[in-house]
Amino acid sequence: MSLRNIFFSSLFILVLAGCATTTTPRGTTPEALFQEGEDLYAGKHYEDAIVRWKKVKEGVTAPDLVAQADLKIADAQFADKNFIEAAAEYENFRKLHPNHEQAPYALYKLGLCYYNQITGIDTEQTPVKNAVTMFETFLKQYPSSEFVAEVRAKLEDCRVKQLQYEIYVGKFYLRTKHYQAAIKRLEEALVQYPEAKINDETLLYLGEAYLWSGNKEKGREVLNRLLGDYGTSKYVAEAKKQLAKYP
């Protein structure tokens, strides 16, 4: 091939390459990126899926596709157990798309983000409080949702955990002989959670707090309430022991 032909062939190749860079490569349309994210999510490649869905939102004017991408990003964070990040994304979705058909789902998952951060009763209780707030809000706003049954069950579990924490604090005051503080905490727990199934435990420690503080009459009243309301409780034997000790 002559030098002239080589030059024009090279020039033609360069022109084609330049044209290729000015067109949209296959697989980079918002719809294609969204589907790539779906495929990566299905394969549990959550970080890569999030990258694709963030790219979907760059320059896209279709509101529905943007909303779907926002929700998918939250779901990916949730599936990857990044509950703090997921909570922020679900909250973002609710703010940006308050009337979206998936708004109930986003609030439900937001509550689960806080619920899944709950640890022991001797640790930070903010996740429990946040979960209760979200679940109560959900039941008020979406009383006929398909998630109502699960939300109610989770809410009841949270309330039990809150009472367990109050009992835990009350027992601490008992051990350290701060009887009035124990009485105040446990009395308030009975008022706040009157229907709780574990109030037999609350009554036992409240009765002991009264007895040990010198108020035998009130202590016996509380322990006799335990015997009357929770006759099969595992705390009955201890209550009877305390009643015999403080006639």
Q: How big is the chain by its Cα radius of gyration, in Å?
A: 30
Dump pLDDT digits (tens) for 166-188: 999 999 999 999 999 999 999 99
Identify whether the C-beta of residue 136 lies closer than 8 Å to the C-beta of residue 155: yes
pLDDT at 57: 87
Show the tokens assigned to 214: 């010198």
CB neighbour burial string for 69-87, b if at least 16 within 10 angstroms, e if fewer = bbbbbbbbbbebebbebbb
Lowest mean pLDDT among 60-64, 83-87, 131-135: 60-64
Per-residue pLDDT at 230 exceeds 90? yes
Nearest to 107, CA basis, from 136, 82, 127, 128? 136
> pLDDT grade, residue 153 (50/70/90)?
very high
What is the separation of C-alpha 151 from the centre of its chain, rounded to a whole number of angstroms?
11
Q: Which residue has the tokens 């335990």?
A: 226
21 vs 9, 18, 57, 181, 195, CA distance in Å?
19, 5, 22, 74, 69
Show the tokens assigned to 167: 């009992």
Per-residue pLDDT at 102 exceeds 60? yes
pLDDT at 125: 92
pLDDT at 195: 85
- First-to-final CA distance of the chain: 117
209/178 Cα distance (integer angstroms):
9
Mean pLDDT, all residues of the chain: 89
Lowest mean pLDDT among 25-39, 134-148, 154-168: 25-39
Per-residue pLDDT at 221 exceeds 50? yes
135/145 Cα distance (integer angstroms):
12
pTM value is: 0.82
> pLDDT grade, residue 27 (50/70/90)?
low
> pLDDT grade, residue 122 (50/70/90)?
confident
The amino acid at 187: E
Per-residue pLDDT at 10 exceeds 50? no
Nearest to 92, CA basis, from 130, 66, 59? 66
123/120 Cα distance (integer angstroms):
6
DSSP 150: H
